[in-house]
Structure 1
């Protein structure tokens, strides 16, 4: 027989095990240039969520106005207020907050009046910050935001020769965003020539969620149509083809894509650095939707019992919607592959597609509109053809 184990010693004689020492996580510095916009704020939030037991991201946001700075501070983003046109003073101010930078993200867009100067100033600031950081042993990764409109459009859903745009597709950018595309490519060239930083270009498809970005125009179009006299007898009509491809991405997933590139570069060893540095990455949803899908979802959401029609002549639309320019939403057909970033980083989009969760996205957009959100007003002005706003978030 096996004897029973001895009784435990009395509590007073038990040894107290010392708690294992746990090292404090180390901060990594991220600078988001244009942090107050739709893209910038989402990217800031994504980095803040990406803490690990060993590291956390301390995020700094460069903005132009004190009022905007308060919003960043509330979101736990460290604000830096300054203008790109004041190169030397701004560089000194940014370096006073952190002498080294692990990641720098660009997501600005200038007014048309000073566009060329804006991009010159932006690249010059990056060079100065990167040179100072590299001299102290920290070579930054610059993630330069562009957009998938750089490739132009693809065919419609069902077209015989339909193929997705990839990172190697020819560039045929929209005239309004040529400068942004050129600046992103210039960042790649400067990184290669100076060696003070590494760079990657990020091209996202149109994005949605929260205040809506350009997808807000879809809600406002349907709402205006629904409020027109006789709407209860009508279908929800669109002038564009039902096969128009709307390849969108939730803004949260977009922000996570930037983080995936940064963490692969920072923690993936030499292989991870080589996989990211000097490359271009598309960000798009796991599949595209069609205008037929989105239009049908909008028709259900806004109470059009007879559904939606497509390819309708503009003269048949109610006057309240016939002058609305929604071509960038309903008329830009584009299928974009994001296989590369998925393969390199393991990133995947997780949020519901636009048509699958349209009621939730509508409620969020309407709340933002009622609150007078800047992003909503900016998108409205752009849909009306006014692209003259100062230093906006990069257009999707």
Structure 2
């Protein structure tokens, strides 16, 4: 779709791959919220299991059930819903237990995208060149220094890629997709951008949920002890730079709208800021992070108040001093992964900004939502707990 193309005379079609996941479901909700007076997004969610389709339908997302491991079959299934796709958002994350299977997953996913692009270019009502937003993450960059370190610098989209071993396959898959999109002058028929969110919080919590699990176990372990101090093994200057999941979803929509509507006032932005056109999106990477980072001191102190530890917090405590089973619990991905990430680029290009409270500002409400999701048997909580235990 040309940067100056008008709004298509039909619903703008969006396919979210991995729509039942924590990120995917938020992206679906964000596109559904973004309808304007002259357009609306029709959102489809590709999932592997029939059992998850009903929840998507209840949220006004059209469910498509199919397995990426059979790219020809799933491509036919998706095209039966619509031969034209304006936006494709990739939110999957396969198991890390079998590296061969993971690499095959990203290969098959790219075949799906290429098949949908071919149909979109040749179908009646086309040609349409899908905008593919391929999710990776800010752990692609590794860690930064801690708060107040004189050498502290934020990660930007130009920072070297030094991924955590657990996300290496995801990063490679995203880079291959970007390369395929622009190989031979873009003959693949789709445009692509890599999207790198920081850790996410809100609702069922993602990895921030592990912070609540830590606190619940800590409270249980200290129930018969008079000590009213919270102990955390990481330094207080550790940077926790997260973003609320709803703000993250809105960032995906902002990128898609900039690519679709071009260099014009974005109808999805209440502030009416002018966005850059499609050329500023394609072939690029965009970080998504909160308006400022939080320190572990801020987060730990808020957790201590919330859970009634009146003597405050001790940081950088040796693990052997932690009570009970907590000494063997791996919380490094939550409390110990210091990273400051700049999101200036997406803000400048699209006019997007985050609006929800920071984690430490609203920790009681986030705890309430997490507990409710846990009691409701939320699948994403169970998945996160397995991963925190090392079962990827």
TM-score (norm. length: structure 1):
0.90
Give the match's secondary structure for 1:169.
coil
Whole-angstrom CA distance in 1 between matches of 2:169 and 2:390: 18
Trace 1:182-197 onto structure 2 (pairs within 5 A).
Answer: 182-193=172-183, 194-197=187-190
CA apart distance, 1:195? 4.4
RMSD: 1.4
Asked if 1 retains the 8 angstrom alpha-carbon contact of 2:232 and 2:316, the reply is: yes
Give the match's secondary structure for 1:219.
helix
- Is 1:118 paired with 2:102? no
CA apart distance, 1:176? 1.1
Trace 1:360-371 onto structure 2 (pairs within 5 A).
Answer: 360-371=365-376
Give the match's secondary structure for 2:40.
strand
Asked if 2 retains the 8 angstrom alpha-carbon contact of 1:203 and 1:282, the reply is: yes
Whole-angstrom CA distance in 1 between matches of 2:235 and 2:53: 43
Whole-angstrom CA distance in 1 between matches of 2:152 and 2:11: 46
- Name the structure 1 match of 2:235: 241
Change (3 A) 1:231 1:266: farther
Whole-angstrom CA distance in 1 between matches of 2:188 and 2:18: 24
CA apart distance, 1:326? 0.8
Whole-angstrom CA distance in 2 between matches of 1:34 and 1:366: 24
CA apart distance, 1:68? 0.3
- Is 1:352 paired with 2:346? no
Asked if 2 retains the 8 angstrom alpha-carbon contact of 1:301 and 1:358, the reply is: yes
- Is 1:205 paired with 2:189? no
Whole-angstrom CA distance in 1 between matches of 2:225 and 2:27: 40
Give the match's secondary structure for 2:152.
coil
Runs of 4+ aligned structure 1 residues displaced above 6 Å come to: none
In structure 2, list runs of 5 or more residues that go unmatched. Answer: 1-6, 265-275
In structure 1, list runs of 5 or more residues that go unmatched. Answer: 1-22, 388-396
- Name the structure 2 match of 1:148: 138
Asked if 2 retains the 8 angstrom alpha-carbon contact of 1:34 and 1:107, the reply is: yes
Change (3 A) 1:25 1:351: farther
- Is 1:342 paired with 2:329? no
Give the match's secondary structure for 2:120.
helix
CA apart distance, 1:132? 1.3
- Name the structure 2 match of 1:170: 160
Kindly name which structure, 1 or 2, has the bigger radius of gyration based on alpha carbons.
Answer: 1
More moved, 31-40 vs 225-234 = 225-234
Whole-angstrom CA distance in 1 between matches of 2:229 and 2:342: 33
- Name the structure 1 match of 2:298: 293
Deviation per CA, 1:314-334, whole angstroms, max 9, x where unpaired? 111101311211110000000
Give the match's secondary structure for 1:109.
coil
Whole-angstrom CA distance in 1 between matches of 2:103 and 2:226: 49
Give the match's secondary structure for 2:68.
coil
Match of 1:57 among 33, 36, 41: 41
Change (3 A) 1:236 1:138: same
CA apart distance, 1:111? 1.7
Asked if 1 retains the 8 angstrom alpha-carbon contact of 2:19 and 2:47, the reply is: yes
Whole-angstrom CA distance in 1 between matches of 2:92 and 2:241: 22
- Name the structure 1 match of 2:3: none
Asked if 2 retains the 8 angstrom alpha-carbon contact of 1:225 and 1:231, the reply is: no
Whole-angstrom CA distance in 2 between matches of 1:205 and 1:242: 19
Whole-angstrom CA distance in 2 between matches of 1:126 and 1:58: 18
- Is 1:372 paired with 2:377? yes
Whole-angstrom CA distance in 2 between matches of 1:174 and 1:115: 16
- Is 1:225 paired with 2:225? no
CA apart distance, 1:233? 1.6
TM-score (norm. length: structure 2):
0.91
Whole-angstrom CA distance in 1 between matches of 2:83 and 2:355: 35
CA apart distance, 1:269? 3.9
Give the match's secondary structure for 2:136.
strand
Give the match's secondary structure for 2:195.
strand
CA apart distance, 1:185? 1.1
Deviation per CA, 1:146-188, whole angstroms, max 9, x where unpaired? 0000000000000011000000000000111111111111111
Deviation per CA, 1:249-297, whole angstroms, max 9, x where unpaired? 0000000000000001111249511111111000000000000000000
- Is 1:97 paired with 2:81? yes
Asked if 1 retains the 8 angstrom alpha-carbon contact of 2:114 and 2:188, the reply is: no
Whole-angstrom CA distance in 2 between matches of 1:186 and 1:165: 22
Give the match's secondary structure for 2:383.
helix
Whole-angstrom CA distance in 2 between matches of 1:327 and 1:37: 23
